[in-house]
Amino acid sequence: MVKKIQILVIGNNTNGCTPKHEKMAYDIGVEIAKSNSVLITGGLGGVMNACSHGAKDGNGITVGILPQDDPKFANDYCDIVIPSGMGFTRDFLNALSADGVIIVGGGSGTLSEVCAAYMSKKPMVAIRGIESSITPYIDGYVDHRKNVKIIGVDTAKEAVKKILELITA
């Protein structure tokens, strides 16, 4: 049996998530499902909810790794809920569980996940044209180590295609 590819999608939570974020995240979820990969998110609202919704509509598998210790906080589209009880530390669990990361906007929580993925040299792509804490790093590196370049993409289809290329390279 071959292990399924696990793609983490991160970005704005409910606060700060716009219809543009939601549409992009939903479409990414659909594309992840089409690729037969497993979607991992933080399991909450905003980008996490929209992406999970898209993956479910595409008959995909969704995993939500929650910061809380109670599964009731998960969005309605999570098939597998992991109530970590780890608070912000769960950002590292999310990053380390993924084979690659897709970034749709985001604030400091997203930046924390990006740094965890960066230090672990996980491939990452980010959607261009969505102003966020990640914007300065798109098509560049987080720091002087140059662990992994964050590749900028413009569409959901391009995001999933590129992350799969980077994961399987």
**How many Å apart are CA 141 and CA 129, to the nearest integer?**
18
The pLDDT tens digits of the residues spanning 54-72 come to 999 999 999 999 999 999 9
The pLDDT tens digits of the residues spanning 72-102 come to 999 999 999 999 999 999 999 999 999 999 9
- pLDDT value, residue 16: 86
Is 0.75 surpassed by the pTM of this model? yes
Q: Where are the domains of the chain?
A: 6-168
Q: Which of 30, 112, 113, 40 is nearest to 74 (CA)?
A: 40
The pLDDT tens digits of the residues spanning 13-54 come to 988 899 999 999 999 999 999 999 999 999 999 999 999 999
Tokens of 70: 């109670």
Fold of 6-168: Rossmann fold (3.40.50)
- pLDDT value, residue 1: 78
